[in-house]
Structure 1
């Protein structure tokens, strides 16, 4: 890489056209100017200047180096301008939310409305399970996420947003059935990326004697799907059971074909907004966070 100090001296000399005046402008000695030019020519392997007394003319190679040096100066100026330019309504926001949440259904349309008002504010939204979101935040693949448990404070900065009920969902035909672990075993689990996590929370906090000793990993799998909008489809057709947040049931078009078990005690799921610890996000993320809070809080 060519020394930027030599390049600056070279460009100044070409612009001024005189060694003595260049030295005065750069607060250098004339021999210092000459030394910079000599070192630059040695680094390039070519004569860059034709000397006419104390004046100079560029060689063909000198023209190329002069143009290169000015391009470097322009690039550096553009970089400094870009670094200082932090527009709250411009740029890409990389965001993810838990795959078993109905957040995607409520947040994404609002992000699109935000982009309609601010066309340069673009959201890359991913739907994924909790562990994948946290892993991608740590690796810098996304910058902001919503998960359903408070992550390790030494790695993440988190803020609790809200909470909503978790629902044990069965086919409508089970509405008059006493729901026990045996019933759930016979139905089979409609598995999704956060199914075991939700089921474990439900068993731990529902206070139902018939369910509280359940093992979230002990059920036969009736079906597996990782698309939020499709998780409840088999249950509406009389197949299996699962656990999902209330918002997922509310967003399902055939919810009249579902039976929501009433627990002894309501089971609440907390939602956390997370980012990498010590990572200062650009201002555009504050715009996104404000919109998320408007929707969820």
Structure 2
């Protein structure tokens, strides 16, 4: 790495074009300025100036180093600007949540971005553990998960609940949901279905369903695109378990049948960020619409 003090002396000399005046501006002696230039040339292993009496011309290498010095000066100025001004409606917001929540939240956050074009919303759909891992790694700043995370590693806030629904084709409307019926229908699998299905069968209040061996349920299909999971169900191909928010976002809801339950199956939603990490002000601006959207699920 080139010495920033030598670079600054070199840049100042090029800007002013005179050794004596450069020394005066930097509160140095003229030999001191010459010494910085020699040390910089030695570090670069190239002559940077072609001296002609009291004047000089930049060599081609000198022009390159000068542009480098200008770039560093600009980067320093931008850094100071960022440190001194935390705009609540500008900058990148990196968020991760389940695919079903992404369907609900993204339109709301895009509306906020329309109002504030310098705000950049970036949402990744991911399961709980990946979200927590990414928070720890710093690749995202804010996560929404359905398990209370380790309080030693994360700071979390309860923001609401998400209801899980067993969804079947409309032809099954009014029929008793039994193990035989689910085996006949077949499971439409997706990345979160193992967790959702286990939770639903355990908590729905139906003792017969709680006894189902989930691994033995036949699969009628698999898809990892959340917006498409309900398509085969609507076409009569199988059943699935999915959050209600994803059902509300599906255009062909009239082709679906949501099985009634004795007890609603709900997961608590937590807004999470890395412990001891102070988030920029823009995350406060997006938290309100996120909580508002979750409250309406």
- Which TM bucket (shorter chain)? 0.7 to 0.9
Q: Counterpart in 1 of 2:47?
A: 46
Alignment of 1:168-207 (within 5 A): 168-207=166-205
- Is this contact kept in 1: 2:19–2:30, CA < 8 A? no
Matches of 1:57 and 1:145, distance apart in 2:
60
Matches of 1:241 and 1:251, distance apart in 2:
17
Change (3 A) 1:151 1:185: farther
Q: Counterpart in 2 of 1:94?
A: 94
Deviation of the 1:22 alpha carbon: 6.0
Q: Counterpart in 1 of 2:149?
A: 151
Deviation of the 1:33 alpha carbon: 4.6
Q: Deviation string for 1:30-68 (max 9, x for gaps)?
A: 66555434423433443737496xxx4224339635565
Matches of 2:264 and 2:231, distance apart in 1:
24
- Is this contact kept in 1: 2:47–2:62, CA < 8 A? no
Deviation of the 1:265 alpha carbon: 1.9
Matched residue of 1:123: which SS? strand
Q: Deviation string for 1:169-192 (max 9, x for gaps)?
A: 223333343322233222221111
Q: Counterpart in 1 of 2:289?
A: 291
Change (3 A) 1:184 1:271: same
Matched residue of 2:148: which SS? coil
Deviation of the 1:201 alpha carbon: 0.9
- Is this contact kept in 2: 1:207–1:265, CA < 8 A? yes
Matched residue of 1:231: which SS? helix
- Is this contact kept in 1: 2:95–2:143, CA < 8 A? yes
Q: Counterpart in 2 of 1:4?
A: 4
| TM-score when normalising by structure 2 | 0.81
| TM-score when normalising by structure 1 | 0.81
Matches of 1:206 and 1:71, distance apart in 2:
62
Change (3 A) 1:34 1:17: same
Q: Counterpart in 1 of 2:120?
A: 122
Q: What RMSD in Å do the two structures reach over aligned CA positions?
A: 3.1
- Is this contact kept in 1: 2:148–2:270, CA < 8 A? yes
Q: Counterpart in 1 of 2:256?
A: 258
Deviation of the 1:244 alpha carbon: 1.7
Matches of 1:74 and 1:25, distance apart in 2:
20
Matches of 2:130 and 2:48, distance apart in 1:
57
Matches of 1:59 and 1:258, distance apart in 2:
78
Deviation of the 1:167 alpha carbon: 1.6
Matches of 2:40 and 2:139, distance apart in 1:
41
- Is this contact kept in 1: 2:169–2:256, CA < 8 A? yes
Change (3 A) 1:87 1:11: same
Matches of 1:184 and 1:63, distance apart in 2:
75
Matches of 2:4 and 2:73, distance apart in 1:
9
Query: Which segments of 5 or more consecutive residues in structure 2 lack a partner in the other structure?
Result: none
Matches of 2:47 and 2:256, distance apart in 1:
81
- Among 226, 237, 246, which residue is 1:228 paired with? 226
Q: Deviation string for 1:239-282 (max 9, x for gaps)?
A: 32221222233333443433332222221122222333444332
Matched residue of 2:208: which SS? coil
Matches of 2:91 and 2:203, distance apart in 1:
42
Change (3 A) 1:247 1:67: closer
- Is this contact kept in 1: 2:165–2:258, CA < 8 A? yes
- Is this contact kept in 2: 1:200–1:215, CA < 8 A? no
